[in-house]
Amino acid sequence: MKRYWWVGIVACLQLACSKSPQSYVERGNGMLAAGKFADAQLQYRKSISEDPKFAEGYYRLGVLEYRLKHGPEALDDLQRAVNFDPGNERYGIDLANVSLEAYQAMPNRKNQYEQVVQEAERLLKKDPNSFDGLRLKGDVLVIDRRYDEAMSVFHRANAIKPNNPGVVVAMAQTLFAQK
């Protein structure tokens, strides 16, 4: 009888001491805000070890990796977040943003280009006036050297969020590309 009692106590203690993946993410967010990047990274990794399909943990880790200029790792983690929670727009938009930057740095990486195209199409299919969808579509049109169409799309995005730096800079760069 005592044996079962001890097994019950040990089981209860294990449950009480175990943390949820979300609690690790919250601790990581606090550490990130305090500038403790290595500690935040460790917390995000713990959230993933608790639940290997925890999209928020991968997302937070990917954002941190991007901030630390670890591009390939950021892309991998953001892709996992999207794979585990495909309905989360923020994950897809951030993956597309990092993919766009990666493609612009290394244009031979067609899979990053395709990621941006797919996300822009998905957002615009859901809402034809999606600011992020229009912005990403404009960026794709610039890559494709379809500058007039890109300017038209950027104007639509600018009408939704006037003077957004990402759109205004893209419009200026497009005008320079057109000479």
Which CATH number covers residue 130?
A: 1.25.40
Residue 105 lies in a domain: no
The count of structural domains within the chain is: 2
- Token pair 């991007």 in the structure block, residue: 66
Residue 98 lies in a domain: no
CB within 8 A of 61, min separation 6: which ones?
Answer: 41, 44, 45, 48, 77
Q: Report the CATH number that the domain containing residue 32 is assigned in CATH.
A: 1.25.40.10
* Containing structural domain, residue 129: 113-179
Rounded percentage of the chain residues whose pLDDT exceeds 70: 90
4 is written with which tokens?
A: 């079962």
Amino acid at 78: L
Q: What pLDDT is attached to residue 60?
A: 97
pTM across the whole model: 0.84
Could you tell me which of 117, 134, 72 has the C-alpha nearest to residue 98? Answer: 72
Three-state DSSP class for residue 21: helix
Q: What share of the chain is helix, strand, coil (3-state, %, to 5)?
A: 80, 0, 20
* 17 vs 89, residue with greater confidence: 89
Q: What is the mean pLDDT of the chain?
A: 90
In this structure, the answer to whether residues 82 and 117 fall within a common structural domain is: no
